Amino acid sequence: MLPIRDRNPSGQTPYVTWALIAVNVAVFMAYWPLGTTESVHEVFRQWGMVPTRLSQGQGLYTPLTAMFVHGGWLHIALNMLFLRIFGDNLEAEMGHARFLGFYLLTGLIAFVLQYIAAPFSPVPVAGASGAVAGVMGGYLLMFPRARVDLLLYFIVGLRVVPVPAWGLLGLWFLLQVLGGLSAPVGGSVAFWAHVGGFLAGIGLSVRLWRMRGARTFWRRYGGRPPHPTAQVEIPVVRRRGAPLPPPQPSGLFRRDGDLRR
């Protein structure tokens, strides 16, 4: 399953979200496609966070630079997809400058927790996933009942299914905790960075949530972003030969996952 969009776009231009995506992609393109294996490894050693170096007092800048270094096309694609989905509404609530500070601070906290979990690991830690996890944590607190469209693969084909943010993000967080508890120390996936970023995102969003009215804010907008629900089509892609669904009554259109007159 893969989240592809939420149902309440902010209606504003999320300048910081798009700028962060552009910077991440630009940095990745600068070293990955044309670089040799050794040169790519050198980028990770120099600009990624290597816990053993930090323990020796070296590379103190790397928790910041590591946020913009990624380990492959899938790594950066998933991080930027999640940032695009969850970043715009949070940026609209926080404002551009505060959202940028929030993103960078949650990313730094994420790397600190990963360092605490394995302070002598020689494996470089890199990627925007800790900061993106912070955005997801803030989104969960502010908009727990926002509808997020998931692209699911069934036996008969692909289908888009809306789910509440609390279900999707809660499951994601649980998987990170379980991964951190079961994975070897210093493994290839920074589960504790994800956990740290997510919790930091919730914690750093509490003040904004209270300023908006806390539970009153949830009740006023139904736990969703304070923006109109987008009218979306729900495509269904079926395998060749799969049975077609029964025809729908005329005079109806599909909006937000329901049939309405």
CATH code of 67's domain: 1.20.1540.10
**Residue 17 is assigned to a structural domain of this protein:** yes
Supply the pLDDT for residue 214.
Answer: 93
Query: How many domains in the chain?
Result: 1
Give DSSP secondary structure letters for 223-255. Answer: TS-SSPPPP----EEE-TTPPPPPPPPTT-EEE
77 token code pair: 């694609």
Q: What is the pLDDT of residues 123-147, one digit of tens each?
A: 999 999 999 999 999 999 999 999 9
Tell me the residue range of the domain where 106 lies. Answer: 2-231
Phi-psi region of 249 (alpha: psi -120 to 50; beta: other; left: phi over 0): beta
Cα–Cα dist 62/123, whole Å: 13
36-58: per-residue pLDDT in tens? 778 888 899 999 999 999 999 99
* Residue 254 located in a structural domain: no
Mean pLDDT of the chain: 86
pLDDT at residue 236 above 50? no
Could you write out the DSSP letters of every residue in 81-97? Answer: HHHHHHHHHHHHHH-HH
Name the β-bridge partners of 148. Answer: 6, 163
Instruction: Kindly report the pTM of this predicted structure.
Output: 0.84
For residue 252, being part of any structural domain is answered with: no
Q: Which residue has the tokens 């079926």?
A: 238
- Looking at the domain assignment, is residue 261 inside a domain? no
| Nearest alpha-carbon partner for 229 in 6, 4, 8, 5 | 8
